[in-house]
């Protein structure tokens, strides 16, 4: 099944496409096949499962993220602790990897963005190949005390939970002008 969140407004902000909601109303293409979600972006987008419930306390998020195309310096990954998603007052934390092997941890509160851990290079993150493709398994372990980020089975960073927003909806964050395939997305 394939959907285009169109400029004509067929789907408004937060509308459902393939069981996912999007933070923008145009320029995002979603398709689902055999349990994989493929995302094509024009603008950057936040996505979350239509049936997602807020998570709090101890939980984990995991998926295999396969970059199919896009610029090397554009990131993709998970959002968590999401509240008021798809609005100007959205609040959440996010972790992203990018094609040069770097990782970022950031927090959003409305229009304010706070860098919690700036882009840093890690050998465990598979960089883009010559066709701007890469596959990375991203995992977050969230507890009331800390958030542990693992990529391809290797722990990369621990962040005290007090520095982030951790209670809320989980989902995906994908930068602009990218194609990404997500398999095995699990949050519980």
What percent of the chain has pLDDT above 70?
90
**Taking the CB of residue 73, how many other CB atoms lie within 10 A of it?**
12
Tens-place pLDDT, residues 156-183: 999 999 999 999 999 999 999 999 999 9
Q: pLDDT at position 6, please?
A: 32
Q: Is the pLDDT of residue 8 over 50?
A: no
Tens-place pLDDT, residues 114-163: 999 999 999 999 999 999 999 999 999 999 999 999 999 999 999 999 99
Q: pLDDT at position 105, please?
A: 98
Distance of alpha carbon 173 from the chain centroid: 3
Q: How confident is the model at residue 25 (pLDDT cuts 50, 70, 90)?
A: confident
> DSSP secondary-structure letter at 44?
-
Q: What is the pTM of this model?
A: 0.91
Distance CA 170, CA 145 (A): 18
Range with the poorest average pLDDT among 28-32, 75-79, 163-167, 182-186: 28-32
Q: pLDDT at position 35, please?
A: 85
User: What mean pLDDT value characterizes the chain?
Assistant: 91
Arithmetic mean of pLDDT, 70-98:
97
**Taking the CB of residue 167, how many other CB atoms lie within 10 A of it?**
17
Cα R_g (the chain), whole angstroms: 15
> Could you tell me the sign of the dihedral formed by the alpha carbons of 131, 73, 89, 42, in that order?
negative
**Taking the CB of residue 78, how many other CB atoms lie within 10 A of it?**
25
Please name each of the domains of the chain with its CATH number: 48-187 (2.60.120.560)
Distance of alpha carbon 41 from the chain centroid: 13
Q: Is the pLDDT of residue 96 over 90?
A: yes
Q: The tokens of 50 are what?
A: 């239509």
């Amino acid at each position: 099944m394939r959907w285009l969140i169109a400029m004509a407004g067929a789907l408004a902000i937060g509308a459902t496409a393939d069981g996912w909601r999007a933070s923008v109303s145009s320029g995002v293409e979603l398709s689902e096949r055999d349990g994989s979600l493929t995302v094509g972006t024009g603008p950057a987008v936040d996505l979350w499962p239509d049936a997602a419930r807020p998570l709090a306390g101890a939980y984990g998020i995991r998926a295999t993220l396969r970059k199919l195309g896009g610029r090397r310096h554009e990131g993709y990954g998970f959002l968590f602790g999401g509240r008021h998603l798809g609005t100007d007052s959205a609040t959440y934390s996010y972790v992203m990897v990018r094609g040069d092997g770097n990782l970022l941890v950031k927090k959003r509160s409305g229009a304010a963005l706070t860098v919690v851990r700036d882009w840093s290079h890690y050998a465990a993150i598979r960089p883009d190949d010559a066709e701007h493709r890469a596959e990375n398994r991203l995992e977050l372990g969230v507890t009331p005390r800390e958030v542990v980020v693992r990529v391809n089975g290797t722990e990369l960073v621990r962040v005290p939970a007090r520095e982030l927003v951790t209670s809320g909806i989980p989902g995906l964050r994908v930068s602009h002008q990218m194609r990404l395939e997500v398999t095995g997305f699990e949050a519980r």
